């Protein structure tokens, strides 16, 4: 039997070193192999992984959603025609109707010495309003009296000549001349009397005359104080009397609003702050064809029955115009309209999930609804919630 060779300590150390070396090399080769495998497999796994599909795509004019099941969605609504939105009240002023107004002027230069009425007084036609002292009236009186005196003198002379002609003492030619002069004196007296009547006043002595009411009604204007100089060259009448059973309400509207108004339309007149007073009904009388050059507005006039005298000349009121029954406009929720710089836009659904930006022109607006004057037609669908998000998405991409 062979005896095992003993291993001595000095021989064991080199062997352990050789084994450690072998194990190190093997471990290194294993790690390298593993890294190699990872390096090869990892790209293959990445290439086989599916990238997540985007929820929407954006181009220059709109947004396209991914389709059914997309995480994004926007509420849309069909555009329909409907009645116009209520117009905003127009501030207007009450005025008299010319056909129901009678101004009274001073026909002769003079000075006011008495005022018999006050603003708001009710008078009858021919009532005394203002007394004026005028030297011109004395001249008219003198001319009339001189003409009347000339008539008496020339008539007496013509009568005498007629007797002399009958007695064959005077010639017929002298009688013809005398009768002609009598006719001229009569015409002069008639002219002087006509001038006095044409003044439309009531004389008061030789130098005074009363300015009279030109019609029955209420004194709505008075430009007369004691000592004030008046005359025919003044622009304003001394007094004005008007029938206030019907009045005008005069205001201004924008050119855009004027295009929707016409004579005969209904209007509602209210007094600001008079909540206990019932509104008055009126009819549009005139929509001017001319734009005011300073305010760039269109004047309008409304006739209003005023039997109870609730409206007074020169006061300010508010007028609201009722839309015509035949008027129909496109309206959308106000939230559907967003501002893109100076342009108002909405987003139209051209196909399911395809939302396109479109510029529109607006009419009247309220907090809930907005009129679309142009840019949309009945039947189209617009985004009514989230339009601002769509606009921001386009702007970010741009």
Q: Give the tokens for residue 200.
A: 């439309």
For residues 313 and 93, give the distance between their C-alpha atoms in angstroms, rounded to a whole number.
Answer: 8
User: Do residues 81 and 94 both lie within one domain?
Assistant: no
At residue 312, the pLDDT reads: 92
For residues 173 and 165, give the distance between their C-alpha atoms in angstroms, rounded to a whole number.
Answer: 9
In a domain, 39, yes or no: no
User: Do residues 312 and 345 both lie within one domain?
Assistant: no
For residues 32 and 109, give the distance between their C-alpha atoms in angstroms, rounded to a whole number.
Answer: 127
In a domain, 237, yes or no: no
Asked whether the beta carbons of 41 and 48 are under 8 A apart, the reply is: no
User: Do residues 297 and 334 both lie within one domain?
Assistant: no
Question: Which residues are 354's β-sheet partners?
Answer: 64, 351
Last residue of a domain, which of 286, 321, 356? 321
> Which of 379, 392, 384, 378 is CA-nearest to residue 347?
384
At residue 325, the pLDDT reads: 62
What count of other Cβ atoms lies within 10 Å of the Cβ of residue 372? 21
User: Do residues 94 and 79 both lie within one domain?
Assistant: no
Half-sphere exposure of 114 toward its Cβ, with a 13 Å CA cutoff?
Answer: 11
At residue 206, the pLDDT reads: 87
For residues 318 and 302, give the distance between their C-alpha atoms in angstroms, rounded to a whole number.
Answer: 11
What letters, b where the CB count within 10 A reaches 16 and e where it falls short, cover 280-306?
A: bebebbebeeeeeeeeebbbbbbbbeb
User: Do residues 274 and 260 both lie within one domain?
Assistant: yes
In a domain, 391, yes or no: yes
User: Do residues 288 and 338 both lie within one domain?
Assistant: no
CATH number at residue 339: 2.40.420.20
In a domain, 77, yes or no: yes
Question: Which residues are 218's β-sheet partners?
Answer: 122, 242
In a domain, 371, yes or no: yes
First to last CA, the chain: 97
For residues 203 and 211, give the distance between their C-alpha atoms in angstroms, rounded to a whole number.
Answer: 9
What letters, b where the CB count within 10 A reaches 16 and e where it falls short, cover 17-43?
A: eeeeeeeeeeeeeeeeeeeeeeeeeee
Instruction: Give the structural domain span for 284.
Output: 90-98+244-321
CATH number at residue 164: 1.10.287
Q: Which residue has the tokens 């907090």?
A: 367
Tally of domains within the chain = 3
CATH number at residue 311: 2.40.30.170
**Secondary structure (3-state) at 262:** coil
Q: Please state the φ and ψ torsions of residue 101, each to the nearest 5 degrees.
A: -120, 140
Residues in the chain: 398
For residues 117 and 210, give the distance between their C-alpha atoms in angstroms, rounded to a whole number.
Answer: 12
In a domain, 342, yes or no: yes
At residue 224, the pLDDT reads: 93
- Looking only at the bridges linking them, the beta strands covering 62-65 and 354-365 are antiparallel
The pLDDT averaged over each successive group of 10 residues in the chain (398 residues) is 40 41 36 34 44 67 69 78 83 94 94 95 95 91 89 90 85 88 90 86 91 95 94 92 96 87 90 80 94 92 93 93 77 89 90 88 87 89 87 74
Last residue of a domain, which of 292, 321, 350? 321
In a domain, 28, yes or no: no
In a domain, 343, yes or no: yes
At residue 67, the pLDDT reads: 62
What letters, b where the CB count within 10 A reaches 16 and e where it falls short, cover 307-341?
A: eeebbebeeebbbebebeeeeebbbbbebbbbeee
At residue 244, the pLDDT reads: 95
For residues 59 and 6, give the distance between their C-alpha atoms in angstroms, rounded to a whole number.
Answer: 88
User: Do residues 368 and 314 both lie within one domain?
Assistant: no
For residues 313 and 95, give the distance between their C-alpha atoms in angstroms, rounded to a whole number.
Answer: 5
pTM above 0.75, yes or no: no
User: Do residues 346 and 312 both lie within one domain?
Assistant: no
Q: What is the DSSP letter of 332?
A: E
Last residue of a domain, which of 293, 321, 349? 321
User: Do residues 345 and 381 both lie within one domain?
Assistant: yes
């Amino acid at each position: 039997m062979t005896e095992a060779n003993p291993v001595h300590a000095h021989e064991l150390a080199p062997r352990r070193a050789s084994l450690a070396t072998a194990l190190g090399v093997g471990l290194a080769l294993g790690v390298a192999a593993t890294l190699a495998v990872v390096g090869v497999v990892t790209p293959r796994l990445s290439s086989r992984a599916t990238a997540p599909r985007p929820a929407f795509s954006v181009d220059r004019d709109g947004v396209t959603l991914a389709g059914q099941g997309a995480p994004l969605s926007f509420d849309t609504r069909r555009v329909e025609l409907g009645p116009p939105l209520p117009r905003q009240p127009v501030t207007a002023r009450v005025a008299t109707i010319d056909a129901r107004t009678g101004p009274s002027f001073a026909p002769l230069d003079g000075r006011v010495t008495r005022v018999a009425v006050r603003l708001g007084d009710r008078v009858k036609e021919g009532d005394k309003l203002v007394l004026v002292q005028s030297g011109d009236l004395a001249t008219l009186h003198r001319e009339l009296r001189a003409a009347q005196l000339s008539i008496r003198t020339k008539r007496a002379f013509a009568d005498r000549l007629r007797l002399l002609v009958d007695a064959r003492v005077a010639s017929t030619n002298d009688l013809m001349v005398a009768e002609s002069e009598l006719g001229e004196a009569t015409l002069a007296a008639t002219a002087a009397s006509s001038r006095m009547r044409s003044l439309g006043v009531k004389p008061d002595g030789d130098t005074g005359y009363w300015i009279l009411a030109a019609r029955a009604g209420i004194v709505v204007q008075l430009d007369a104080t004691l000592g004030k100089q008046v005359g025919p060259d003044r622009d304003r009448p001394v007094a004005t009397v008007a029938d206030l059973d019907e009045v005008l309400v005069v205001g201004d509207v924008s050119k855009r609003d004027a295009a929707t108004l016409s004579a005969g339309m209904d209007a509602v007149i209210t007094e600001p702050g008079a909540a206990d007073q019932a509104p008055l009904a009126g009819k549009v009388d005139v929509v001017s064809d001319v734009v005011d050059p300073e305010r760039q507005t269109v004047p309008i006039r409304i006739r209003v029955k005023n039997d109870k005298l609730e409206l007074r000349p020169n006061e300010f009121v508010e007028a609201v115009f009722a839309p015509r029954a035949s008027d129909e406009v496109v309206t959308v929720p106000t939230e559907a309209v967003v501002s893109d710089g100076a342009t108002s836009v909405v987003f139209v659904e051209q196909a399911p999930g395809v939302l396109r930006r479109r510029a529109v022109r607006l009419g009247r607006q309220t907090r809930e609804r907005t009129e679309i004057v142009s840019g949309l037609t009945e039947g189209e669908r617009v985004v009514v919630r989230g339009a601002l998000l769509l606009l921001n998405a386009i702007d970010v991409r741009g």
